[in-house]
Structure 1
């Protein structure tokens, strides 16, 4: 990408019956956002026209057949389908899921082909997207299959960064799923992302325990003592600044998280409940560890307010800015590591 070109930001629209289109269109209703990137929405002219009319959003767009035709200074719509799907705001319908995946597949294809630089995904409903050719519990698992690298679900809001050892699995399966190999992979992925995507040279990482009170020396489960502690010590001895396992119940309430660059939670709700409590509306879901950049807002389809024009686009806008920043940080990191002399000059300057 040339310095004079704006970054091409692809958007998959999510569930048509949710707030995905609304938050995306509201974000770029502010024309100043076009100074930062060239947005490319994967949907259709008719679908976007209907949404903006229903929601009273004042925005003009440029309809194109392929992402390569996108124009700077415009909101571009790639026409992925010609038909007019039925929109039923607030309802989880088979049709809503079908077109969410059509948009996602088209956007990911463009991302893999280099026609867009980054991807921001609007929320989907994990139930109505299920089909013979799409059996994934969410975006993260699908992207892990389609793109290269070791994926990590990483929730970010300023300096608060929470990743997950396990994400969309049942709580009853968590302890069995956490192995030394998984811990090593997720910590390595988190460390690399903090260095490459966030510019932190020597990141400090905290791991939360699996059991209450991290097992209380084996009284409440042995997984923390037998699985987590040995592998944490092993990684620390090899130079990774990783600590724990910490008791999850008091970790955030005591502000211990402020002592670390990132926190790795054992399972979904252990990490996302405190994250969303502390940062809801400002957080971003980032899929770290892959060879392409993907972000999304920290909320779901919000059917209860869909079609009413009440959705707050703040988190989606944060997802846009984060995608841009991560792409630039990563590009700079790769360039510096290609040029050892420049890397040495940068180290001296710092």
Structure 2
């Protein structure tokens, strides 16, 4: 396994008019971070110099035009463009969206080529990234296409993990999206991720209902009874510890979530509202199910405070730590599964 400082963390710079660049700089102003990884920021040395001066940051970095030029234990900036970028903090700008995509595409190529070990993405604006050549609602869908696998939005902290059956789907379409095949696919993705990425050999998973009060026996909706419950019973029969559906309104307030390794919500706000209420500023968005590791902070571009030097970097810093930890866990899991004797010895110690 790699030495900690030799784990190469690629960073896409996100929307330059938002807080992404500030939280990246603040994260690596702490020189101890370089004991855990070697960062590569996909942007340009000119742009990063402007941002460094704007925020009075004391970071120093190594500008590179080829990934082979990176220096371990230093902050590296991979030049994705050489022109001067007009940064206007707090403003939505289509041109800035183009730079966000240039950064993301370059970082993704490096990830696919194993030039970087993991990817941490700074926040983008989902509107200004749209173009004739980029038509994805966000990072997750783009990376699923580029990297392959059954992607799943997985919000994580040290004590709480929330996965989603559906993510960026309009509320009016949610029930139609939730099929038996989708439920099985998402639960299998979560189950495998908990084993290989989080070192949990026998995970317990709770699933929240689709309708209020899980439909109240059909009074408020039939999907919980006709789709969700039968599918969960089928999954249980395969030996997985899957429970539910639980009524979402009382699940978190009653602290029932503490009894499970992961909670799977039926839709975006059902899962993310309690997650962010309980962990905002410390949470991480992890894309499970891909053949590479990608994390991001649990917030957006925050235009309203961009450029003011007051953004909190903790969530981004946690995203870096999570990517490193998941990378290590996955590497160990792959080593153990390829060596049955090591796996047996580890199981005996538990």
TM-score range, shorter chain: over 0.9
Instruction: Return the alpha-carbon distance in structure 2 between the equivalents of residues 74 and 3 of structure 1.
Output: 15
Aligned to 1:74: 74
1:151-207 deviation line (CA, Å, top 9, x unaligned): 010000112000000001100000000000000000000000000000000001011
Q: Kindly state the Cα deviation for residue 346 of structure 1 after the two structures are TM-superposed.
A: 1.1
Distance 1:282 1:2, change over 3 A: closer
Q: Kindly state the Cα deviation for residue 2 of structure 1 after the two structures are TM-superposed.
A: 4.1
Matches within 5 A, 1:200-279: 200-279=200-279
Aligned to 1:327: 327
SS at match of 1:169: coil
Would you say 1:317 and 2:317 are equivalent positions?
yes
TM-score, normalised with respect to structure 2: 0.99
Aligned to 2:18: 18
The answer on whether the counterparts of 1:85 and 1:95 sit within 8 Å (CA) in structure 2 is no
Instruction: Return the alpha-carbon distance in structure 2 between the equivalents of residues 178 and 97 of structure 1.
Output: 32
> CA RMSD of the aligned region, Å?
0.9
Aligned to 2:28: 28
Instruction: Return the alpha-carbon distance in structure 2 between the equivalents of residues 64 and 306 of structure 1.
Output: 27
Aligned to 2:136: 136
Aligned to 2:148: 148
The answer on whether the counterparts of 2:122 and 2:296 sit within 8 Å (CA) in structure 1 is yes
Aligned to 1:56: 56
The answer on whether the counterparts of 1:121 and 1:294 sit within 8 Å (CA) in structure 2 is yes
Distance 1:61 1:3, change over 3 A: closer
The answer on whether the counterparts of 1:19 and 1:301 sit within 8 Å (CA) in structure 2 is yes
1:205-239 deviation line (CA, Å, top 9, x unaligned): 01110100010111000000000000000100110
Structure 2: 5+ residue stretches without partners = none
Q: Kindly state the Cα deviation for residue 79 of structure 1 after the two structures are TM-superposed.
A: 0.4
Distance 1:5 1:317, change over 3 A: closer
Matches within 5 A, 1:37-186: 37-186=37-186
Distance 1:4 1:137, change over 3 A: closer
Q: Kindly state the Cα deviation for residue 67 of structure 1 after the two structures are TM-superposed.
A: 2.1
1:235-277 deviation line (CA, Å, top 9, x unaligned): 0011011111110011000011001000110000000000000
SS at match of 2:289: strand
Structure 1: 5+ residue stretches without partners = none
Moved over 3 A (4+): 1-5
The answer on whether the counterparts of 2:153 and 2:286 sit within 8 Å (CA) in structure 1 is yes
SS at match of 2:243: strand
Instruction: Return the alpha-carbon distance in structure 1 between the equivalents of residues 266 and 218 of structure 2.
Output: 17
Instruction: Return the alpha-carbon distance in structure 1 between the equivalents of residues 5 and 295 of structure 2.
Output: 21
Instruction: Return the alpha-carbon distance in structure 2 between the equivalents of residues 71 and 93 of structure 1.
Output: 33
The answer on whether the counterparts of 1:18 and 1:301 sit within 8 Å (CA) in structure 2 is yes
TM-score, normalised with respect to structure 1: 0.99
The answer on whether the counterparts of 1:56 and 1:309 sit within 8 Å (CA) in structure 2 is no
Instruction: Return the alpha-carbon distance in structure 1 between the equivalents of residues 151 and 254 of structure 2.
Output: 29
SS at match of 1:206: strand
Q: Kindly state the Cα deviation for residue 113 of structure 1 after the two structures are TM-superposed.
A: 0.2
SS at match of 2:156: strand
The answer on whether the counterparts of 2:151 and 2:287 sit within 8 Å (CA) in structure 1 is yes
Q: Kindly state the Cα deviation for residue 349 of structure 1 after the two structures are TM-superposed.
A: 1.9
Instruction: Return the alpha-carbon distance in structure 2 between the equivalents of residues 156 and 248 of structure 1.
Output: 18
Q: Kindly state the Cα deviation for residue 102 of structure 1 after the two structures are TM-superposed.
A: 0.4
Distance 1:229 1:4, change over 3 A: closer
Aligned to 1:291: 291
Instruction: Return the alpha-carbon distance in structure 2 between the equivalents of residues 310 and 346 of structure 1.
Output: 45
The answer on whether the counterparts of 2:5 and 2:38 sit within 8 Å (CA) in structure 1 is no
